[in-house]
Structure 1
Amino acid sequence: MIKLCGFALSNYYSKVKFVLLEHDIPFEEVLVMPGQDDALLTHSPLGKVPYIQTEHGDLCESQAIVEYLAARYPEKAIFSADPWIAAKEREMMFFVDVHLELTVRNLYKQAFFGGTVTDATKGRVEKLLTHHISGFKRLAKFTPYLRGERFSVSDAAGFVSLPLVGMATQAVYGRDFLIEAGIDWKAYVKAVNERPAAQRITAERKAYVEAQRRKA
Structure 2
Amino acid sequence: MIKLCGFALSNYYNKVKFVLLEHGIAFEEVAVLPSQDEALLAHSPLGKVPYLQTEDGDLCESQCIVEYLAARFPDKAIFSADPWEAAKEREMIMFVDVHLELTARNLYKEAFFGGTVSDATKGRVEKLLAHHIAGFKRLAKFGPYLRGERFSVADTAGYVSLPLVGMATQTIYGRDFLLDAGVDWKSYVKAINARPAAQRVTEDRKAYIAASRPA
Normalising by structure 2, we get a TM-score of 0.99
CA distance in 1, matches of 2:149, 2:84: 17
Q: Where in structure 2 are the equivalents of 1:165-176 lying within 5 Å?
A: 165-176=165-176
CA distance in 2, matches of 1:133, 1:77: 29
2:9 maps to what in 1? 9
CA distance in 1, matches of 2:56, 2:182: 45
SS in 2 for 1:3: strand
2:138 maps to what in 1? 138
TM-superposed deviation, 1:172: 0.3
**Counterpart residue type for residue 147 of structure 2:** R
**Counterpart residue type for residue 20 of structure 1:** L
Q: Where in structure 2 are the equivalents of 1:61-80 lying within 5 Å?
A: 61-80=61-80
**Counterpart residue type for residue 123 of structure 1:** G
- Give the number of equivalent residue pairs: 215
**Counterpart residue type for residue 153 of structure 1:** V
Is 2:195 the counterpart of 1:195? yes
2:91 maps to what in 1? 91
1:174-211 C-alpha deviation (Å, 9 max, x unpaired): 00000000010000000000000000000000000000
**Runs of 4+ residues over 3 Å off in structure 1:** none
Normalising by structure 1, we get a TM-score of 0.99
Is 2:176 the counterpart of 1:157? no
Q: Unaligned regions of 5+ residues in structure 2, if any?
A: none
Q: Where in structure 2 are the equivalents of 1:48-63 lying within 5 Å?
A: 48-63=48-63
SS in 2 for 1:58: strand
1:108 maps to what in 2? 108
SS in 1 for 2:144: coil
**Counterpart residue type for residue 62 of structure 2:** S
TM-superposed deviation, 1:143: 1.0
Q: Where in structure 2 are the equivalents of 1:122-133 lying within 5 Å?
A: 122-133=122-133
2:211 maps to what in 1? 211
CA distance in 1, matches of 2:81, 2:68: 16
CA distance in 2, matches of 1:212, 1:167: 20
CA distance in 2, matches of 1:207, 1:43: 26
CA distance in 1, matches of 2:21, 2:182: 31
**Counterpart residue type for residue 170 of structure 1:** Q
SS in 1 for 2:213: helix
TM-superposed deviation, 1:214: 3.9
2:20 maps to what in 1? 20
User: Cα RMSD between the aligned structures?
Assistant: 0.5
**Counterpart residue type for residue 29 of structure 2:** E
SS in 1 for 2:28: strand
1:148 maps to what in 2? 148
Q: Unaligned regions of 5+ residues in structure 1, if any?
A: none
**Counterpart residue type for residue 154 of structure 1:** A
